[in-house]
Amino acid sequence: MLELAILGLLQETPMHGYELRKELATKLGTIRAAISYGTLYPTLKRLQTAGFITESASDPSMIPPMTSKRGRVVYKITADGKERFADLLAQAGPETYDDAGFGVHFAFFSRTDRATRLRILEGRRRRIEERREGLRDVLSRAAGRLDAYTLELQRHGLDACEREVRWLEELITNERSGRAPAASAGTFDLPAEPLQERAAGESPQEQPRPHQDRP
Amino acid sequence: MLELAILGLLQETPMHGYELRKELATKLGTIRAAISYGTLYPTLKRLQTAGFITESASDPSMIPPMTSKRGRVVYKITADGKERFADLLAQAGPETYDDAGFGVHFAFFSRTDRATRLRILEGRRRRIEERREGLRDVLSRAAGRLDAYTLELQRHGLDACEREVRWLEELITNERSGRAPAASAGTFDLPAEPLQERAAGESPQEQPRPHQDRP
DNA sequence: GTAGCGATGTATCGGGCCGATACATCGAGG
DNA sequence: CCTCGATGTATCGGCCCGATACATCGCTAC
């Protein structure tokens, strides 16, 4: 799973480990908080051994700070790596439908063809529906055996399942009709913020603005 | 984490591995689908070595089927194990607030004193709030850098965070006012099912049932 | 000036947990 | 009779995590 994510990010631009971890954290923030270095470095080593990435020291593209000879290692994807990435993106096994696997695949959906997107979305939906049925069974059949807290936990979990199924259904509908993914209006809207100049790479300012939350 | 769960279940009644796994699955169904045997058996061995549980072969409490000499191993909690369980229940480290840790602790809240319950609930809330703030940051600051699918993933994650915080807040309020946990009315309702006879400990019938679980 | 601090950066180690796999018994149905 | 699914115990390779160690850079504070 991590392999896919790393290959995907390195396909955009070469990076060193620290940077990679940060990008991973923002791109997959929903899935896992932050990848551990105890995972990242061994994985990078593995990918390197397999020939999917190469390392080159002291990249030249460092202008602002960093003008010294510290041992920064920049990783770059190879042709084999790109091929591998495409393979991993297209093929969907059972591990594609668990929380982590689905999250990573979804995060790279903009580089996945529609047929695969639909396949993954539907596989994930089936998975969640199964979990949901399991919880319903427990709540209706085993309810008497369980204490109030355990029951409450199941209820909350069931709720989350139902919500996710609805979300997936919406996404599937959108995919089928060829619309963009983000048709969910009102899910996230800043009150009166100027967020036009996004889609450009940068925004130089950044005022105090302490996290307004939905009106 | 698993250690806590196993000790907790064995405190209710002695069990063998297979049964333990099933109980784990229904009690922690929200948290992890089903514990792997590749996890369970080594953990049992560890607990045994540590002196928290003991194994005894071929339990006598097997009346209906099972009258043979197969190597069924029944695990029983020891006095040390009970002490250990109480310790684990009471103390809350950082791992108590991640998804798995919190879920297990919550599942045993009926055996936790109120002060600890509140501490854990609040710690979890803080954790989720941090995750939520991270997602809000990404959505407001880094939005231009990310594609529509990644953004949608973040939105969905943010939504889940906000929902969970609300859930936790409700639970905290209930704890403080001394009420039972399940005040969430209408969260779970089958269309026209008769599920009155819950809350009694038992229901004697249920005929066909090969291998009843607990009479 | 210099001492500390937080961010940047690379790397390893022990251990928990998972999926795959192997093997064996039992009751039920074809 | 014979296979199939549930019950049951157990191991192995491998991913991934948290803790830890070490080193440099730029900033602020004394």
Whole-number average pLDDT of chain A: 81
Say what angle helices B114-141 and B99-107 make with each other, to 10 degrees.
150
Nearest CB to B26; choose among A33, A138, A181: A138
First CA to last CA distance, chain A: 37
Judging contacts by C-beta atoms under 8 Å, the chain B residues touching residue A135 are 29-30
3-state secondary structure of A133: helix
Judging contacts by C-beta atoms under 8 Å, the chain B residues touching residue A155 are 182, 184, 187-188
Pick the residue with more confidence: A191 or A123? A123
Alpha-helical regions (H) of chain A: 2-12, 17-27, 37-50, 79-90, 99-107, 114-141, 148-176
Question: How high is the pLDDT of residue A24?
Answer: 93
Burial of B201 (0-12, 13-18, 19+ CB in 10 A): exposed
Nearest CB to A26; choose among B131, B133, B142: B142
Question: How high is the pLDDT of residue A132?
Answer: 94
Task: Tell me: pLDDT of A66 over 50.
Answer: no
**Can you tell me the mean pLDDT for B129-138?**
91
Pick the residue with more confidence: A207 or A124? A124
Of the pLDDT bands very low, low, confident and very high (cuts 50, 70, 90), residue A145 is: confident
Chain A nearest-CA distance from B69, in A, is: 30
**Can you tell me the mean pLDDT for B51-79?**
70
Question: How high is the pLDDT of residue A56?
Answer: 83
Inspect the interface and report whether the beta carbons of A181 and B149 lie closer than 8 Å: yes
Q: Please tell me the distance from the alpha carbon of residue B115 to that of residue A72, in angstroms, as a whole number.
A: 48
Q: Please tell me the distance from the alpha carbon of residue A73 to that of residue A117, in angstroms, as a whole number.
A: 34
Alpha-helical regions (H) of A51-78: none
Chain B contact present for A118, CB below 8 A: no
Q: pLDDT for B106-125, tens place per residue? A: 999 999 999 999 999 999 99
Question: How high is the pLDDT of residue A58?
Answer: 60
Judging contacts by C-beta atoms under 8 Å, the chain B residues touching residue A186 are none
Query: With a 7 Å cutoff on the CB, does B39 touch strand C?
Result: yes
Nearest CB to B110; choose among A30, A147, A167: A147
Task: Tell me: pLDDT of A204 over 90.
Answer: no
Q: Ramachandran region of residue B193, left (φ > 0), alpha (ψ -120 to 50) or beta?
A: beta
Question: How high is the pLDDT of residue A67?
Answer: 41
Q: Could you tell me the distance in Å between the CA of residue A148 and the C1' of nucleotide C5?
A: 48
Q: Please tell me the distance from the alpha carbon of residue A154 to that of residue B22, in angstroms, as a whole number.
A: 15
Question: How high is the pLDDT of residue B184?
Answer: 52
Q: Could you tell me the distance in Å between the CA of residue B176 and the C1' of nucleotide D9?
A: 46
Pick the residue with more confidence: A59 or A12? A12
Question: How high is the pLDDT of residue A53?
Answer: 95
Of the pLDDT bands very low, low, confident and very high (cuts 50, 70, 90), residue B190 is: very low
Judging contacts by C-beta atoms under 8 Å, the chain B residues touching residue A108 are 149
> For strand C, which residues in window 42-81 of chain A come within 7 Å by CB?
42, 45, 66, 70-74
**Can you tell me the mean pLDDT for B192-208?**
39
Task: Tell me: pLDDT of B186 over 80.
Answer: no
